[in-house]
A and B are shown apart, each in its own frame.
Chain A
Amino acid sequence: NLDLQPEDNRLTSGAAFDEPGAYKSFLAKLYAGISVSGQEGPAGNPDLTGLDEGFSNYLRLYWSMQELTTDEAIVGWNDGTIKDLHAQTWTSGNEFIRTMYSRIFYQVALTNEFLRQTSDAKLDARGVDASLRSEIQNYRAEARFMRALTYWHAMDLFGNVPFVTEEDPIGAFLPQQIKRADLFTYVESELLAIENDIVAARQNEYGRADQAAVWMLLSKIYLNAEVYTGSPRYSEVITYTTKVIGAGYTIPTNPYYHLFLADNDTNGSQSEVIFPITFDGLHTQSFGGMTFLIHAAVGGSMKPADYGINGGWAGLRTTSALVEQFPGEANSADGRALFYTDGQTKEINNTSTFTQGYAVEKFRNVDVNGVAGSDPTGDIPDTDFPMFRLADAYLMYAEAFVRGGGGSAADAVTYINQLRTRAYTNASGNINQADLTLNFILSERSRELFWEAHRRTDLIRFGQFSDQGIWPWKRNVPQGATTEAFRDLMPLPASDLGINTNLEQNQGY
């Protein structure tokens, strides 16, 4: 008999959906696509095999693209071409850029497959009952949100990319390339299409996307629309951030740093969080995500136990450029200046040496009482990553206002002052309308949102990423130097260009 089928817990696509719970499990994989790297935690049976599994984690790669390429972060390791990210000397052969791209399109393929497997025809054929069907309609909206989120990353990082939807097959075919502006239209139309299908704001299960996440993502793409399409859409930013702001999220009274602790899903800080990427020391294990962000930032004389982990990986620090964003630098009255300076120098002479450059102690695996998270071995943290939070919506509103998108100056100032009051624990850091300039907003975004994977996009929107803007070790020189403007877009990986003859490389590469 040569017709052999799986006999263990693997299933054919025919058999997999006999179990009603399979749909929710498959949906869970779409979220797991961002947080973990495969079917076994923290590593094993990986989704992607072209790079070390720990490095191939979506959030870790996205964070590296958004932060290592900027003044906010630098890494000392010798892993492949990782140092080229901060130096902005990457080529189309860079394996981290390649794997980010692979991860993005893996996520797209997963969501497409979910939509194929939950089409009306399939559900009819399987005789799915009405109550599960209506559940599945929610899942489908979330799947489309997750796909839109990923296509946004593709549009932001790579611009003109392969384009596949649930209409395409699975197999050895060559996808067509889509122009960045057309992809913008697609992402926008998808989000508008699901806006009223998805679960209402703050009504979905924790960890799952809802209507506010859709509004937030719409605000994000409209804020950067000029970069993506050449046409500004700031008034839509006001529209959608207003919807987010009106949905009931609040800036908590907790200190700022509580947002980044192991119990940030329960300590009160979650009242601000619109869309988290959840992690758990025992159940959501990965060497990417928060495991990376916390371990890699600990080294030198830092005590791992203070961060709820068993040891540091001595890699990530920041440059003096971020330190200098805070008045008083490391001793700033601004509580968001979470730097560790003991034994660290502010300036960096050798990028490989952890003790050069201030360490950043933003993310920790301890709760508000300093108790470490649930993993007794201290490897894997519980801390959730706040991908979208209210502070960002406030800052986007203020920026869109300054850029002429409408809205109210008073609201913009009030929003910013809410953030600064939390940061200073009083009104001493508050601003007035005259302070509300574009430069202030770019700096304020860095102070509020540093290391939260926004920086590269922000710098590009402000024209400060490549041929403008200097920070230490940009272009691989200690004082920093400008690079070529084409680096505002990442290259399409040489490996995909070698395979997919429909693709044209981004200009300059």
Chain B
Amino acid sequence: GTVTDQANALPLPGVNIVIKGTTTGTTTDFDGNFSISANNGDVVVFSYVGYGSQEIIYTGQQRLNVVLIEDTAQLDEIVLIGYGSTTKQDATGAVEKIGEKEFNQGAIVSPEQLLAGKSAGVRITSGGGDPGGGSEIRIRGGASLSANNSPLIVVDGLPLDQRGVQGVRNQLNAINPNDIEDFVILKDASATAIYGSRASNGVILITTKKGKTNSPFKVEYDLKASVGTVSDYVDVLSADQVRAIALTDSNYNASLLGNANTDWQKHIYQTAVGAIHNVTVSKGYESFNFRANINHTSQQGILTGDLYERNSINLSAVKRLLNNNLKLTLTTKGIIDDNKFADHGAIGAAVGFDPTQAVYNPDGSFFQHVGQNLAFTNPVFTLANNNNRARNQRNITNFNIDYNLPFLEGLKFNLNAGLDYSELSGKQYSPASPNKPGSINYENFYEGLNRNSLLDFYFNYKTKLESINTNMDLTAGHSYQEFYIKSDRRETESSGSLIQRPTIINRNALESYFARASFDFDNKYLLSLSLRRDGSSRFGEDNRWSNFPGVSIGWKMTNEEFLQNSLFSNLKLRAGWGKTGQQEIGQNYGYLGIYSPGRSDASVQFGYVNGVPQFINTLRPEEFDENLKWEETSQYNVALDFGFFNERLTGTVDAYYRETTDLLATIPTAAGSNLSDLLTTNVGSVLSKGIEISLNGALARSTDFNWDLGFNVTFQENKITKLSLGEDPNFFIAQGGISGGVGNNIQLWKEGLDPSTFYVFRQVYDTAGKPIEGAYVDVNGDNQITEADKQAYKKASPDAYMGFTNTLNYKNLDFSFTFRGSFGNYMYDNVASDRGNITTINDAPGQYYVNGHSNVLDTNFKNQNLFSDYYISRADFVKLDNVSLGYLIPGEKVDLRISLTATNLLTLTKFKGLDPEISNGIDNNFYPRPQTFVLGLNFTF
């Protein structure tokens, strides 16, 4: 017979077919055909991942033509939950699985971009437009202040180092997006507590693709070719406008201006070309399957000279032994990550460089402000001559043994050994500054090694307690993980010679015991308890260990009598609580008083020997807090999962309340009490709460036409509830460094406020609505404007954010698009505040002029007014992030899918700066996100 897909009537290869209750089985071939011998009355089961299975009783048919229906939200779908798995219907925590079908399309280099806008409570903000650049991932807004706010990422069972690895733009690039089967996001503490000390910011479990049992040999070639262009420039003055302002200078010197009209920003950006090639082969036998992928990625940045390249190979093999009771899984990835880093300083230099000057002198050399050491270097020169290349070679290997122990039905042993090893080698060269006579070329040869090794095991026992009609699932295990980081550097010192710097080594380790017990009473009431006990080498013996419990309950209401045959196909109420920790503070010996030797260029002279000055290297005791301990986060979660119309419309509403206490924060220490001004210690607390709603619907389901949509929205609120040991309600810590003078901050941490709140003067405006320079609200009424008149005002984090995805299929044509939105967030336009004034333009600290922000034409500000709230504006936005159109051409031997994708297509916002989506809320020489068009070709042989 033949098995086809209901959606498009295409044959389905690799469908598993077994005679129920036997080991007899087969799979469909490439054309969906199969043959199997069966007896009358046998039940033939057809199953295929992502589709509802079908059982057909064999009654002597010659052909069995079976149509499988794609399942949008299977309740019995397996969901990983960390050291084990559950099903979607039995999950009691806030756990969301995002599979391949939901991923964003396009030339995606960094795996986290697959997820942007797809999950409620998860905000993914790319750091800018650099190729292969990383993103800030925040689940429920982040639970800490100074410590790490990124989720723990676990790849095939191996937790990655939250600090990343050296010399790469984004450590997740080691995972080829093409290899990812799915992401499971653990959001609430009852779900994450099993990861204990690293779980306060949520956990993302990444599963990579493996071959399928009994599947035909398959070869797939996938190409994504892309072009990206700069979508917007900073609004700067034209050459004539600069000339006009320069004329107003009391020391006006016409000879300092040129005759050109150069738009410097146009000279530093390029059309970025990229290509991603993936060749994948896979094959599955009865007891062995494998998958191999070779990837080559090359992505230029729009900043000239920026380049990211990845060559990787990913192998996975699964072997089943002992009658399927022993499963060995090996996954190994080899990645060579090559970066050429363009000097980002060129972005600011292009904004500020005098537009009356030409890029080149008449003799072909670069124009420079020779002798003006504070002037910008010609950004075209910088991009052409600075060179910084790094290669990171990395291997991530995981070996897993899963063994069903023979002596007790339902008991299994799972062992996981993982290694993430990388070596970095880089070379940086900067030519002598053309503006500074006497300066020298700088070279820097750097090397690094990161090693993250893991060994964990657990026992799992699943049984049914018939007497009380309860399914029980027990897990207990142990884990040890060690991180080792080493760096070396040889660089030019000021004498001009190369010097080998001392090796820097950091090692830290975590040891853990964990256990979980889950019960399903009467297929209605769920209870799950978990406990992890973690020890960290970062704390002293007395504070080293801590316990992280989690508990959650669920009520499968649709299994109750009173909801039978209702319009609900699923209704489940869940609630949970858990305690998680944090120890990722960057430093390893914060509890131990250590001594750091000083370098020879920071030594002091003690006398002479024979007239030669003698320099003594210093030895410095470091600040420490011997009572340093875990930061603890306590989180409550209540949720409702629902499904209507046989799961055609499904959704979840989650509400959470999270409090972090004993915050690991770097805060001012009482003067005299320690060996620095700031100390990382346990102080204060933060509170966050929010509601997450997600809805998924299958609007249309038919043979020819399908329409799915997914919508999610998150409302959130974060605030600091305590910040110091003292009681002063006005105590605050300045945050958010800005350009336009050293030591300036635009944000603050203060009790009662969001940690991204701005701290500014309230601008006074004239009757025409123009800001009056230097006129601010005298808040304390002392008739002068001092720092005491600054006020907390607005914040950078959103009140709400949302994602909206549509996927449409008509026959072989598919179309999808994704909108993302953010609301209630504000931005500070630091380019305008720094450069939008006359003094900046015509009173440079030397004999030259510079360009300013066109905003000066609106304000006529003479001087910088950095702290005016005039520069803070609403930055709500809706972005059309991703639009993709695809067409599948089925063939005899080859299927070809052609797709066209556009990313970063449209931004609706009132914010006037470059981009309303900058994670810290400060727009300052931001690397613009390119607008990209992608042609995709996928051949399946």
Contacts and interface: CB of A to CB of B under 8 A. Distances in A.
A complexed with B: yes
Interface of A: 1-13, 16, 22, 24-29, 31-32, 35-36, 38-42, 44-45, 47-52, 54-55, 77-82, 84, 89, 91, 93-96, 99, 101-106, 108-110, 113, 117, 161-164, 168, 170-175, 204-208, 265, 278, 280-286, 299, 301, 304-305, 310-315, 343, 350, 352-355, 375-380, 493-501
A189 to B, nearest CB: 19
Q: Which of B374, B502, B536 has the most CB of A within 10 A?
A: B374
Interface stretch (B710-718, B784-792, B800-808, B923-931): B784-792
5 contacts: A10-B594, A265-B613, A354-B843, A498-B728, A499-B725
Contacts of B734: 95
Nearest to B862: A350
B671 A39 contact: no
Given A2-B544, A10-B596, A81 B787 contact: yes
B251 A299 contact: no
Contacts of B674: 109, 170-172
Q: Which of B593, B619, B678, B725 has the most CB of A within 10 A?
A: B619
Contact of A39 (B604, B615, B618, B625): B618
Contacts of B613: 206, 265, 280, 283
B775 to A, nearest CB: 15
A282 B741 CA distance: 27
Nearest to A56: B677
B743 A171 contact: no
Nearest to B600: A283
B624 interface: yes
Contacts of A161: 671
Interface in B468-524: 493-496, 502-511
B676 interface: yes
A151 to B, nearest CB: 11
Contacts of B732: 498
B545 to A, nearest CB: 9
Given A28-B598, A175-B673, 20 more contacts: A1-B509, A9-B597, A22-B595, A24-B616, A28-B603, A40-B601, A54-B742, A77-B741, A81-B787, A103-B677, A162-B672, A172-B681, A175-B670, A284-B615, A299-B845, A299-B846, A352-B843, A376-B440, A377-B440, A500-B670
A93 B606 contact: no
Nearest to A93: B787
A495 B733 contact: yes
Contacts of A47: 620, 676
Contacts of A494: 730-731
B537 interface: yes
Interface residues of B, number: 107
A174 B436 contact: no
B673 A164 contact: yes
A80 B743 contact: yes
Given A6-B594, A355-B251, A499-B731, A313 B602 contact: no
Contact of B251 (A42, A44, A99, A343): A343
B405 to A, nearest CB: 30
B599 interface: yes
Contacts of A106: 675-677
Contacts of B502: 8-9
A47 B839 CA distance: 34
Interface string B23-36: 00000000000000
Contacts, number: 351
Contacts of A105: 671-672
B212 to A, nearest CB: 41
A173 B511 CA distance: 31
A16 B597 CA distance: 9
Contacts of A497: 726, 728, 731
B466 interface: no
B410 interface: no
B38 interface: no
B744 interface: yes
B529 interface: no
B724 A499 contact: yes
Contacts of A22: 595, 619
Given A38-B602, A280-B615, A496-B668, A49 B620 contact: no
Contacts of B39: none
B584 to A, nearest CB: 16
B742 A28 contact: no
Contact of A5 (B250, B589, B730): B589
Nearest to A299: B845
B725 A172 contact: yes
B304 interface: no
B588 interface: yes
A173 B420 CA distance: 41
B621 A110 contact: yes
Contact of A80 (B496, B620, B672, B744): B744
Contacts of B845: 299, 312-315, 354
A81 B726 CA distance: 25
B607 A314 contact: no
Nearest to B666: A49
B10 interface: no
Contacts of A376: 438, 440, 494-496
Contacts of A94: 787
Contacts of B673: 109, 162, 164, 168, 170-175
B731 A278 contact: no
Contact of A4 (B507, B623, B679, B864): B507
Contacts of B626: 171
A48 B503 CA distance: 23
Interface in B529-580: 535-537, 541, 544
A474 B552 CA distance: 66
Given A79-B742, A380-B494, A102 B677 contact: yes
A127 B438 CA distance: 51
A29 B618 contact: yes
A93 B750 CA distance: 14
B670 A377 contact: no
Contacts of B920: none
Contacts of A207: 604-607
Given A8-B504, A84-B786, A52 B743 contact: yes
B435 interface: yes
B608 interface: yes
Given A54-B742, A55-B743, A171-B627, A310 B437 contact: yes
Contact of A28 (B435, B495, B496, B606): B606
B620 A379 contact: no
A95 to B, nearest CB: 6
Contacts of A278: 604-605
B864 A78 contact: yes
B433 to A, nearest CB: 8
A198 to B, nearest CB: 15
A171 B742 CA distance: 30
Contact of B846 (A108, A282, A311): A311
A36 B566 CA distance: 76
Contacts of B436: 310-311, 377-378
A454 B371 CA distance: 34
B621 A113 contact: yes
Contact of A311 (B372, B601, B607, B681): B372
B677 A50 contact: yes
Contacts of B510: 2
B65 interface: no
A171 B676 CA distance: 11
Contacts of B504: 8
A283 B601 contact: yes
Nearest to A382: B613
Given A32-B604, A379-B494, A12 B595 contact: yes
Given A39-B599, A500-B671, A80 B606 contact: no
Interface string B698-742: 000000000000000000000000001111101111100000111
Contact of A2 (B536, B599, B726): B536
A110 to B, nearest CB: 7
